[in-house]
Amino acid sequence: MKQTHIMTTPILSIRNLTVDIPTRHGVLRPVNGVSYDVAAGEILGVVGESGAGKSMAGNAVIGLLNPPAHIASGEILLNGQRIDTLPRDEMRRLRGKQIGVVFQDPLTSLNPLLRIGDQLTETMLAHLDISPSEARKRAIAALEEVGIPGAAQRVDSYPHEFSGGMRQRVVIALALCAEPSLIIADEPTTALDVSVQAQIIALLKRLCRERGTAVMLITHDMGVIAEAADRVAVMYAGQLAEIGPVREVLAAPIHPYTDGLMGSTPLASRGKDRLHQIPGAMPRLDALPPGCAFHPRCPYTQDDCRADPGPRIEDGAGRAACFHPISRTEVA
Amino acid sequence: MVDMRLPPEELVTGDRSRLALALQSDFAYQFRRAPVAVVSFAVTLVLVLGALFAPLIAPFDPFDPASLNLMNGFSRPMTPNAFTGDSFWLGTDDQGRDVFSTILYGMRISLFVGASAVLFAMVLGITLGLLAGYVGGWTETIIMRVADVQLTFPSILVAMLIFGIAKGITPVEYRDQMAIWVLIIAIGLSDWVQFARVVRGATLVEKNKEYVAAARLIGRSGPAIMVRHILPNVLSPVLVIATISLALAIIAEATLSFLGVGAPATKPSLGTLIRIGQDFMFSGEWWILFFPAATLLALALSVNLLGDWLRDALNPRLR
Amino acid sequence: MALVSIRNLTRIFDVSKPWLNRLIERKPKALLTAVSDVSFEIEERTVYALVGESGSGKSTIGKMLVGLLPPSEGHVEIRGIDLAQETDADKIESIRSDIQMIFQDPYASLNPRWRVRDIIAEPVAARGGKTEGLAERLLEQVGLSARDAGKFPHEFSGGQRQRICIARALASEPKLIVCDEPTSALDVSVQAQVLNLMSDLKDEFGLTYLFISHDLTVVQHMADRIGVLYLGRLVEEADPDTLFDHPAHPYTQMLLAAAPKLDGFGREVPPPQGEIPDPINPPPGCAFNPRCPLAAERCRTERPTLRDVRGARVACHFAG
């Protein structure tokens, strides 16, 4: 299978990102030396279980880390420009203009006291050089684009007058209205029903394709990743475990963690009495084992896995952070 | 911060004693880092210990007429008396009573009345709040309407009303003994509403949690669920209110005593001492008023600051 | 005889505003029909799964089954005894101790102020039974350590808490456990551990489960029989193979098509149309008719009843 390689500079580029949280018991490192790129028109899925650091990495990109959490090292580049060193004010402007954000709970992104039309036009007027009447027209167009029936009437409704799925559409319209080059969607469908989730995923894919927006889709749901993402980054205990095209990583994982994760989904075990299970649990951030963080749960652990430093994905190349990846030559 | 896991207690503590565990807790850590809390706790502790051990600490027994010498009246602080040559730290009042000793004994009464009133209000408020929140329906409507009505009267007014009624129905010879208990009930009754409101609110949240459903499922009775399951989970806000209420109750007691409807002159509380002291304010004997008033201020302020800190420390949303 | 028999179960909630608001705004009472005329049976030692999206009434049925909610109409019979009608206290007591429940949120379902030992033993202690060593034994049975009995819930992860919940549910030696979304708050790898544990315990203790979930893949793995709910109505009932390979009801078909597939790379399916209607004013006739590709005039007037279609029970005029 051939991947068309995108030669232009990626929209978002994260290099060796490390996030630290100093606590009185020592420094916790929820994101540890993570690197990945998102290209224009591409959806990068970031998966991991709770505590893997996937949301924390997303928050670092949009500059919304809660103190005392902070970026300890590494670089975040948006369209080739460093954004992790920007002052707060500039970062806030950038967040509305260049980066759109969709969170799990649509109510956190919408002001309950303002009509949604006003929230959309306000964002557009702040970032785009257009007249208020033009902004209103565009607001209605944006609502139509995300599939809200009767957009011209509903533009003057308040957030509470929409259902959960419709609210998430409004949030997507809001994230898109300033025409950002990057969208960060953090568990955008987790709170929604299956049928509504399918609608939202289809919407995200269409917008990404039509507008060439880069999307970072953070979720714990492997099925959503499989259907929506072009490439996938699997995180474990703050580190990147495996990254690559979604077909390769999900269908033929070479990191034992990805393999275990895929195997433990009920779909993968159809017809079996028991589900495949990974023993143990993800280590807490203050009790990471030496070497590879996955070695205590890994069926293929050898001596070198226990020694520091653990395996890393080399910058820009490589697929899995593993000394003994699963050989797929006979499978493929 | 959804993804952050808090440090595990077992890693930090190992198997050390309970005391070591408590000192290691986040609560103790926060406390040590808050200078206001440490200072107000220290002041409160000193004052409470002083009141508790008044008979051991106080150089004189101000209520023992035999030890009083009228000649010692109006001694200035730290100055030998012109007639007897006796010296008193904080001076004496018109009857020759040592101001320092009367403050210690007065604080005993103030604290006893304040703490008992808060305890009374707490028990009443928690019971009614739990009932209103858990049972709901008409029970809730009646309890909360009574609370609303009560809130429209200033609490001092309520206390004075109860005091007045009690005074009317007690025989004269018991009045002085009854005064303290009437004070406690009067202040407690004017204070239960906020306990009831907070407990009802917390109960409404807790009763919809699944551990309550699990208890109902196995056939636990309503009272058992209220007392054993819900009560322990609504106590942290109660603790905060109780602390702040204690400061308010001490002030209420002082106010009532100052107005002459509280603790009698034979068993003076801080408020009574201030009332007595104000008669001498303009005749130059300032210490008779000043020292009890300063003590009251220090006590109420430090307890209040402690309550404020406690509210912040126990409120997870502010962290 | 089936262990559980649910007949024409209906639950209506009064979601009206307070009467004074109604008086001023001149609005009638608002009644929400969460469960409408649902009937099914659960055989002993099987897993019956209820699937549906939010508002389908699946949790409400679970609560009525365990007796946390009284039914508005219809009956829940366990071993032929209707708890809502029975007057013999001993019978009620014996049935009640046969039913237990596991909840969705492992953080809210354990009292944070109680030690694990007391939490697990409570179902037995409440009936005055002997609890010595009980919690320790059960903890080991669910894959935790006996030493955990002295700890408090906050010292455990979500998956471990759910194990504690399972241990509590087992304490009174029940026959039937109602599992309300037991793994939807858990990560995939932890979910696998908990589901495996539940399967093992079912075999070991001869348990019967009513398994409530919105996750089709979990249901497919666990269930012996599946009931699909839509807006409080049972629209289809079948065994997993029949249901997943030949779904008969248009709603089931839509649900299966919409569920993300692990091998659905770049899958482009037309997403489902519309949303679940307002349960206060459900559409007349078949509740699914506004979203259904097959809908005809008959569907808008006449509510379909369950009928047998190739090994399944389906409430649709046109299925089959």
Element (H, E) at C100: strand C99-102
A5 touches chain B (CB under 8 A): no
From chain C, the residues in CB contact with A265 under 8 A are: 188, 192, 217, 262
Residue B211 has pLDDT above 70, yes or no: yes
Query: Domain check: are B92 and B121 in the same one?
Result: yes
pLDDT at A140: 92
Distances A171 to A168, A183, B60 between C-alpha atoms, Å: 5, 12, 75
**Mean pLDDT across C41-51:** 95
Q: Which residue on chain C is closest to A192 by alpha carbon?
A: C54
| One domain for residues B91 and B127 | yes
Inform me whether the pLDDT recorded for C114 exceeds 90: yes
Residue written as token pair 């009141």: B51
For residue A64, give the chain B residue with the closest CA.
Answer: B1
Best of A43, A194, A222 to mutate (most C CBs within 10 Å, chain C): A194
Give me the residue spans of the domains in chain A.
Answer: 9-41+50-89+221-332
Sign of CA dihedral C254, C259, C263, C267: positive
Co-location of B148 and B24 in the same domain: no
Residue B291 has pLDDT above 60, yes or no: yes
Mutant choice from C56, C157, C187, C218 vs A, greatest count of A C-beta within 10 A: C187
Claim to verify: residue B141 and residue B234 sit in the same structural domain: yes
Confidence of residue A331 (pLDDT cuts 50, 70, 90): very low
d(C-alpha B308, C-alpha B303), whole Å:
9
Least confident of A149-158, A193-202, B58-67, B100-109: B58-67
Task: Report the run of H or E that residue C73 belongs to, with start and end.
Answer: strand C73-78
Contact (CB<8Å) C109/B210? yes
Closest to B134 measured CA to CA, from B225, B210, B217, B238:
B225
User: Do B165 and B42 sit in the same domain of this protein?
Assistant: yes
Model ipTM?
Answer: 0.87
Q: Nearest residue of B to residue A21 by CA position? A: B4
Same structural domain for residues B180 and B314? yes
In total, the C-beta contacts within 8 angstroms joining chain B to chain C are: 56
pLDDT per residue as tens digits for the range C212-271: 999 888 999 999 999 999 999 999 999 999 999 999 999 999 999 888 888 878 777 777
pLDDT mean over B240-253: 90
Q: Which residue has the higher pLDDT, A293 or A3?
A: A293
* Chain A residues near residue C255 by CB distance under 8 angstroms: 194-195
Residue A308's nearest CA partner among A291, A289, A288, A287 is A291
| Main-chain dihedrals φ then ψ at residue C180, nearest 5 degrees | -95, 100
What's the CA gap between A283 and A274, in Å, rounded? 24
In the β-sheet with A182-186, what is the strand arrangement from edge to edge?
Answer: A99-102, A182-186, A214-219, A43-47, A231-236, A239-245
pLDDT at C71: 93
Q: Which of residues 17-56 of B touch A (CB under 8 A)?
A: 29
Same domain, B68 and B189: yes
Average pLDDT over residues A313-319: 70
Residue A295: what pLDDT? 92
pLDDT tens digit string along B81-140? Answer: 767 767 777 777 777 788 888 889 889 989 999 999 999 999 999 999 999 999 988 899
Measured between CB atoms, does A50 come within 8 Å of chain B?
Answer: yes
Residue range C161-188: average pLDDT?
Answer: 93
Q: Rounded CA gap, B153 and B249, in Å? A: 16
- B61 and B22 in a single domain? The answer is no
Contact of A196 with chain C, judged by CB distance below 8 Å, is answered with yes
pLDDT at C295 exceeding the cut of 60: yes
Contact A286 B11 (CB under 8 A): yes
CB-CB neighbors (< 8 A) of A25 in chain B:
7, 12
Residues written for chain B: 319
Interval C88-103 mean pLDDT: 88
- Number of domains making up chain B: 2
My answer on whether B13 and B40 are in the same domain is no
Same domain, B258 and B142: yes
Range of the domain at B11: 1-29
- Which residue from B114, B110, B181, B193 is spatially nearest to B155, judged by alpha carbons? B193
With 0-12 / 13-18 / 19 or more C-beta atoms within 10 angstroms meaning exposed / middle / buried, residue A309 is: exposed
| Confidence category of residue B315, pLDDT binned at 50, 70, 90 | low
Task: Give chain B's mean pLDDT.
Answer: 82
Provide CB contacts within 8 A for C132, sequence distance 6+. none
DSSP letters spanning C152-204: -GGGS-HHHHHHHHHHHHHHT--SEEEEESTTTTS-HHHHHHHHHHHHHHHHH
Which residue in C262, C268, C272 is closest to A250 by CB distance?
C262
Would the pLDDT of B41 be above 60?
yes
Chain segment C143-152, per-residue pLDDT in tens: 999 999 999 9
Q: Distance between CA atoms of A299 and A280, rounded to whole angstroms? A: 12
Residue A4 pLDDT = 47
Average pLDDT over chain C reads 90
Together in a domain, B5 and B63: no
| Two structure tokens written together for A193 | 């029903």
**CATH placement of domain A9-41+50-89+221-332:** 3.40.50.300
Among B102, B92, B90, B101, residue whose Cα is nearest residue B71:
B92
Of B1, B5, B12, nearest to A66 by CB-CB distance is: B1
DSSP sequence for A129-183: ---HHHHHHHHHHHHHHTT-TTHHHHTT--GGGS-HHHHHHHHHHHHHTT--SEE
What's the CATH number where B48 sits? 1.10.3720.10
Are the CB atoms for C76 and C83 separated by under 8 Å?
A: yes
3-class DSSP state for residue A236?
strand
Q: What is the pLDDT of residue A271?
A: 67
For residue C48, what pLDDT band results from cuts at 50, 70 and 90?
A: very high
Structure tokens at B265: 């002159």
- Closest-CA distance, B22 to chain A, in angstroms, reads 16
Please tell me which residue, B234 or C29, carries the higher pLDDT value: B234
Q: Say what the pLDDT of residue A317 is.
A: 62
For residues B296 and B311, membership in a common domain is answered with: yes
Given a cut of 60, whether residue B197 has pLDDT beyond it is: yes
Strands C307-309 and C312-314, sheet pairing: antiparallel
pLDDT at B124: 95
- Minimum Cα–Cα distance from C195: chain A residue: A275
* Of residues C100, C109, C155, nearest to B10 (C-beta): C155
Chain B residue with CA closest to C93: the answer is B219
β partners of residue C151: none
What pLDDT is stored for residue B319 in this prediction?
40
Handedness of CA C111, C114, C116, C120 (dihedral sign): negative
